[in-house]
Structures are given as structure tokens and as C-alpha cells.
């Protein structure tokens, strides 16, 4: 079961390699803002919904950096 579009993954892999952060290619799914990708930290709450035959899964990508904790708290609630 493919949950992530292969074209999006190729694009993320190419762009992450171009800016020297190739290991971030998987983290860029929910991190769509350019400044988040360039700095390598999550600044805004993002989420993705995955639906399987038996489960609905919500993945939250919340900031952990102390400057962005208020956003994390409001996004998680």
C-alpha cells in the first residue's frame, strides 16, 4: 500500500539533496514550508491522515524547539 506519492518523494529527495540535507527527505512530508525545510526544524503544526482497511491514523508533526512550543500546544489540542 503506497501512502506517499512517489513523485512527491522523488521531488523531496532531489530538493533535500540540492540544499545538502538529504537525510531530511522523509521529514519533508509534513514540513512543506521552505523555511522549515531549509532550517531543518519544524516551526508549524502539520498533520497527515493515513487510512487503512481497519484504521484511521493521524500523524502530527509538532515543533519541539522551545521557541515554537506554544504552536505545538495549540496544534496538538
Model pTM greater than 0.75?
no
Between 77 and 56, the higher pLDDT residue? 56
Residue 67's pLDDT is 72
Residue 37's nearest CA partner among 26, 51, 50 is: 26
Contacts of 12 (CB under 8 A, 6+ apart): 25, 26, 28, 29
Instruction: Work out whether strand 46-51 and strand 56-61 pair parallel, antiparallel, or are unpaired.
Output: antiparallel
Mean pLDDT calculated for residue range 25-48: 72
Between 11 and 41, the higher pLDDT residue? 11
Find how far residue 23's CA is from the centre of its chain.
13
Residue 35's nearest CA partner among 76, 65, 8 is: 65
pLDDT digits (tens, 9 = 90+) for 38-67: 777 777 777 778 888 999 988 777 777 677
Amino acid at each position: 500500500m503506497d501512502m506517499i506519492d512517489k513523485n512527491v518523494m522523488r521531488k523531496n529527495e532531489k530538493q533535500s539533496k540540492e540544499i545538502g540535507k538529504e537525510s531530511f527527505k522523509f521529514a519533508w512530508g509534513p514540513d512543506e514550508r521552505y523555511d522549515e525545510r531549509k532550517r531543518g526544524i519544524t516551526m508549524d503544526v502539520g498533520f497527515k491522515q493515513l487510512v487503512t482497511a481497519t484504521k484511521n491514523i493521524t500523524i502530527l508533526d509538532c515543533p519541539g524547539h522551545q521557541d515554537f512550543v506554544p504552536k505545538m500546544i495549540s496544534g496538538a489540542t
